[in-house]
Amino acid sequence: MARHPRSWNSQSGNRRHRRKPSQDDFTAQVIGGSVLVAVVVWQVTGAIQESRIPPEQRLAVERSVYYSGCSAARAAGAAPIHRGSPGYRAEMDGDDDGIACEAYY
């Protein structure tokens, strides 16, 4: 009984076939990398701009709007609230990362 040439070697018979990367794979990687870079730049830029605002001015802006809690801020469509934005309070920022009422999944 003749066998197929690949089947007589047990390693080659169980070989996984890799598909050739397509243009869509490359595009997805480029988009994913671009989004990551954009997020990092946005976070760093926000931290730099935040450091330029005098503390008393930042507090005045934050206190210009008051939300009783995160549920009120979400209901008003203001969540998440970044440090230095109207309505931000340290009490609503549980992890002290500068973003209050952020969504957790």
Q: What is the pLDDT of residues 23-39, one digit of tens each?
A: 778 888 888 888 887 77
**Bigger pLDDT: 13 or 88?**
88
Q: Report whether pLDDT(8) > 60.
A: no
Residue 100: per-residue pLDDT? 92
**Which residues have CB under 8 Å from 40's CB, separation 6+?**
none
The DSSP element (H or E) to which 10 belongs, if any, is helix 10-13
Residue 13: per-residue pLDDT? 53
Domain locations along the chain: 48-105
pLDDT in tens, 45-104: 665 556 677 888 888 888 888 999 999 999 999 889 988 888 999 899 988 888 999 887
Q: What string of DSSP letters covers 23-74?
A: HHHHHHHHHHHHHHHHHHHHHHHHHHHHHHS-HHHHHHHHTTS--SSHHHHH
Residue 48: per-residue pLDDT? 54
